[in-house]
Chains A and B, each alone.
Chain A
Amino acid sequence: MNRIENTEHDRLTFWERLYLPEIAKGLGITLRQMFKPKFTRQYPEERWEPTGSYRGRPVLVLDEDGERCVACGLCSRVCPALAIEVQAAETERDKERYPEKFEINMLRCIYCGFCEEVCPEEAIVMSKDYELVFTNREDAILGKEKLLVPIHKLQDRLEFLREYK
């Protein structure tokens, strides 16, 4: 003869098997949830301000004496998605080299942050920009004019890097 053990009948008390009191309890829980504070962020009106640890759009740092990048090409080399293209040129300034052309293809970028990690000059960092919308492919390739960001806007990220990198 088959003996079935640990059936629903064994596990539950009489009131639990009746099911209705348990449903009433469940309904009570959901009713209480209705009056709790909501988690929704009303997005276009209420924006989220990321912290320094956020990896948004990679940008080039522009400090008081111009751009930091020396066009060593390490970022382009390390980029796993092949999103960065750098062409170096010579300049009269102390650093001697600068990127004549610096392009990041945002359709390729995967926001891994390797470029930032490998950069010897702390010239390319991840910013807080997360609203990246392009209406065609050409727009998604960002040139230097869109990549250069003044240093005071990137303080959070630079402090984060100094502490944790």
Chain B
Amino acid sequence: MNWSLLIIEFLIKAIIILTLILLIAAAFGVYLERKVSAWIQNRIGPNRVGPFGLLQPFADVIKLFLKEDITPSAADKLFHRIAPVISLGVALSVYAVIPFAEPFEMGNRTVYFALTTPDVNVGILFILALTSVGVYGITFAGWSSNNKYSLLGGLRSSAQMISYELSMGLSLVGVLLVAQSLSLQEIVQKQALWNWNVFYQPLAFLIFLVSAFAETNRAPFDLPEAEPELVGGYNTEYSGMKFGMFFLAEYANMFTSSLIIVLLFFGGWNLPIPAEWIGLEHGSFWLSLLQFFVLIIKTLFFVFFFIWVRWSVPRFRYDQLMYLGWKVLLPLALLNLIITSIVIYFLR
């Protein structure tokens, strides 16, 4: 095997996926959030930096880099520094296993439209495991700041993410039963041509959607950073690019969640019409590229949905949040799982 070629391929993919897609998507997520919130409130939103304010995210990032980085003197320096790295690192590393389109042939080899190993057969488990690690970033941040508001934010976040992870995982089992596979590549292939899982597993989709909001700490479940009670929550004591990393991680997580929702429930990169109708063969570069854009468009819709919900729905009270997680979503997820298994047992 030609190792140097593999490494070059990996580097190119890493650069494209991590910087071009993820970081820019996260930065423009911020822009989109400001624009959509402005539209909902009958305002215009950022429109000064560049055409339509499109360069605003770059201005923001430059500002964050140039800001003074303040560490509270009572803080635990090591964990205070590690926390944002964990948050952003986890948010980025999830992309190691997410495929973006069908593999295509180039020369005489197959190139996978994913960051690393082609077709990881435990893709979903890896994603679930990593998003759980993301809790550490927020909890460390809350604890190491040595500030009561940060600590409360960190505690809330860990309690919330752990309780919602259960129903999230259980709702996914239904999808896995339908697809009979853990590999994202296969799950998407099974949904070809409008055989979307959302039609077979509507309940699982609802549970997953609600849990995704809680997992990404977005409104209406943004209790870890509930401004009226907790100042800024876990990132109260952060400034400069450390704060920026939390900020980017939040938007990267939002993008990841939308991507996973699309991959699992909305047919992933499948085109709405058979590829033959527009004269593209399976395995060709152009088909992969087209699929990639289809995937991104579907994902952007969900990113928009996340933002839209944030500016429409008021924040939950903490007991309501726990009630919803443990007494509503978890039994529903179990119910969905039981029904799905019975149906599949009798259909086979």
- A29-37, A55-63, A82-90, A124-132 - the one binding chain B: A29-37
Q: How large, as a class, is the contact surface on chain B?
A: 10 to 19
B42 touches A37 (CB 8 A): yes
Q: Which of B43, B44, B206, B311 contacts A30 (CB 8 A)?
A: B311
CB nearest to A29 among chain B residues? B312
**Chain A residues within an 8 Å CB radius of B247:** none
B312 touches A34 (CB 8 A): no
A26: interface (CB < 8 Å): yes
B308 touches A38 (CB 8 A): no
Q: Nearest chain B CB to A164's CB is how many angstroms away?
A: 33
**Chain B residues within an 8 Å CB radius of A42:** 44
Contacts A20-B206, A23-B313, A26-B313; is A39 near B308 (CB within 8 Å)? no
- B40, B206, B311: most-surrounded residue (chain A CB, <10 A): B40
B199: interface (CB < 8 Å): no
How does the 8 Å CB contact mask read for B309-321 relative to A, with 1 for contact and 0 for none? 1011100000000
**Chain B residues within an 8 Å CB radius of A29:** 312
- B42, B206, B312: most-surrounded residue (chain A CB, <10 A): B312
Q: Nearest chain B CB to A39's CB is how many angstroms away?
A: 5
B41: interface (CB < 8 Å): yes
**Chain A residues within an 8 Å CB radius of B39:** 33-34
CB nearest to B312 among chain A residues? A30
CB nearest to B305 among chain A residues? A27
B42 touches A27 (CB 8 A): no
Q: Which of A20, A30, A36, A40 contacts B308 (CB 8 A)?
A: A30
Listed A/B pairs (25) with beta-carbon separation below 8 Å: A20-B206, A23-B309, A23-B312, A23-B313, A26-B312, A26-B313, A27-B309, A27-B312, A29-B312, A30-B308, A30-B311, A30-B312, A31-B308, A33-B39, A33-B41, A34-B36, A34-B39, A34-B40, A37-B42, A38-B42, A38-B43, A38-B44, A39-B42, A40-B44, A42-B44
7 further contact pairs, Cβ within 8 A, besides A23-B309, A37-B42, A42-B44: A27-B312, A29-B312, A30-B308, A30-B311, A34-B39, A36-B42, A38-B44
What residues make up the interface of A, taking CB atoms closer than 8 Å to B? 20, 23, 26-27, 29-31, 33-34, 36-40, 42
